[in-house]
Structure 1
């Protein structure tokens, strides 16, 4: 073998080594969508994004830049349309599938998007989100309805005005379910508990998920009851009924029981975390979010 042939062989072997080495060092992590909570901005998830990129180099994370700050209190259905278009563009760009992390109000927005889109989301991580609704006095409620007590909010929430406010869309008064079913333009619709001509599409789209991970805890201080983050909720006597005993699960209104039956439903009860700290708590991230991004 002459020197030219030897040099060419060395170059070929070197290039081949690089090509075969790349897959083992650049694991193809799924891209991630992040949706912020009420009165927050797209930068809310910056710390979380930094941790993800550090642990999973090369992961693309898109934090939705829409309905920031005070704009986040407009009605949820409007938000779903705009956020859904941004998310669909990202999904189309990543045909191999994406994961989704959504916090607080962002979690109900994401569920609305998932039910209304033919999506490619593998894992939806819902972090302290009022998935079964909200019924409690909080600082956020006082911001929106400063002169109303919890038991009076239904008078505003269940009206045309109230249904143009995001919290009104998922306000679920257990003592006024007749009015809730009559007026709810979001939560009762995505739950398929009110008349919805697209109910089968909503359920089919929801079941495109491989996995739903729900994170919440008793020290949250905002989501009321905190079990709403796991699809539990109050009965008319304000006793908390867990998800498995709720009609939306028992009768599989939008697919929860089906998802659970195939092993795709995960719940984590995490004590000691207040609402605004879920996304900036590194222990929560390491134990309850990162393992589902692998």
Structure 2
């Protein structure tokens, strides 16, 4: 109890007006239910007094939000989220963004595509699939009945146009044995990773972040390969040897500006010993909340601007 009181006291002292926080949930999850991100929103509001937390909902209710996490093309989801956040007056002066699982790459796309409408300070991704996935061993936090259907379709037809249009998970399916097909047919991931052409706007908007924090779960049994959570992946042409971000052409050619961000100290690679999205709250407060969500330096920069 004394530890929590100390933590709350320190946070109150370090920031007078905390920047808002925007959340984006993962596959088979919802924005706001009390056993889902609704619980995490309350957690943030408790440890950061006065913070405004908005959890992105794609749809008119929680059921639509959950089903859209499987069946609404992420390009459309990002457009909806961009307009939704731009219309929120509480986010006008900027906010911190946290993505969970597939919400990580959706939130990154939001940064890259909506820089003219939104001001995002720090991007934090938990268990994100930044280089895609090659396997779906488990599917969906809520064990939705669509899970098995999604898995079977993707295994056989991920790059068919109708599958790319209809199944969210196909849009970040990255088959290292079909690298050229992936680049040509991936409607979402290949684009936001600048793997077909170089979109300078994506690079500039991503670089405008103060920090891009990637959290990998060392015992992740859901994301394959788990190295994708740090932008690592299989070396092209096979599915055994894994390479880090720094060993990849994406980094060496700086096609997304990640090398420049790394050189500027804007990339952070953190890890947690748990399974997918499982982490200790005290660890999260010390490692994420205090340095990135309640950093006094952020307030000073805002005042100067």
Do Structure 1 and Structure 2 share a fold, with TM-score over 0.5? yes
- Conserved? CA contact 1:104–1:128, under 8 Å: yes
Task: Quote the Cα distance in structure 2 between the aligned partners of 1:75 and 1:283.
Answer: 36
The answer to whether the aligner puts 1:66 opposite 2:58 as a matched pair is yes
Task: Quote the Cα distance in structure 1 between the aligned partners of 2:195 and 2:277.
Answer: 31
Distance 1:173 1:55, change over 3 A: same
What is aligned with 2:204?
Answer: 204
What is aligned with 1:96?
Answer: 93
* Shift, 1:113, TM fit: 0.9
The residue correspondences of 1:283-294 to structure 2 (distance < 5 A) are: 283-291=282-290, 292-294=292-294
Distance 1:69 1:94, change over 3 A: closer
Larger CA Rg, structure 1 vs 2? 1
- Conserved? CA contact 2:104–2:126, under 8 Å: yes
Q: Deviations over 1:62-106 (max 9, x none)?
A: 01121521221121111111111112233x543432101110010
Other structure's SS at 1:125 match? strand
Task: Quote the Cα distance in structure 2 between the aligned partners of 1:82 and 1:181.
Answer: 25
Task: Quote the Cα distance in structure 2 between the aligned partners of 1:214 and 1:158.
Answer: 27
- Conserved? CA contact 1:215–1:288, under 8 Å: no
Query: Which of residues 67, 74, 77 is equivalent to 2:75?
Result: 77
What is aligned with 2:255?
Answer: 253
Task: Quote the Cα distance in structure 2 between the aligned partners of 1:56 and 1:214.
Answer: 21
Backbone CA RMSD of aligned residues: 2.1
Distance 1:147 1:32, change over 3 A: closer
* Shift, 1:145, TM fit: 3.4
What is aligned with 1:14?
Answer: none
5+ residue gaps in structure 2? Answer: 1-11, 60-64, 141-146, 295-305
Q: Deviations over 1:139-163 (max 9, x none)?
A: 2295243546xxx72x411111221
- Conserved? CA contact 2:136–2:151, under 8 Å: no
What is aligned with 2:301?
Answer: none
Other structure's SS at 2:213 match? strand
* Shift, 1:25, TM fit: 8.9
The answer to whether the aligner puts 1:126 opposite 2:122 as a matched pair is no
Task: Quote the Cα distance in structure 1 between the aligned partners of 2:133 and 2:14.
Answer: 45
What is aligned with 2:41?
Answer: 49
Q: Deviations over 1:17-53 (max 9, x none)?
A: xxxxxx9797111110011111111122222222222
The answer to whether the aligner puts 1:31 opposite 2:33 as a matched pair is no
* Shift, 1:201, TM fit: 1.2
Task: Quote the Cα distance in structure 1 between the aligned partners of 2:40 and 2:152.
Answer: 36
- Conserved? CA contact 2:20–2:90, under 8 Å: no
Q: Runs of at least 4 residues of structure 1 off by over 6 A? A: 23-26
The answer to whether the aligner puts 1:145 opposite 2:146 as a matched pair is no
Task: Quote the Cα distance in structure 1 between the aligned partners of 2:151 and 2:135.
Answer: 13
Q: Deviations over 1:120-174 (max 9, x none)?
A: 11110001010111112322295243546xxx72x41111122121111100000
Distance 1:143 1:83, change over 3 A: farther
What is aligned with 1:240?
Answer: 242
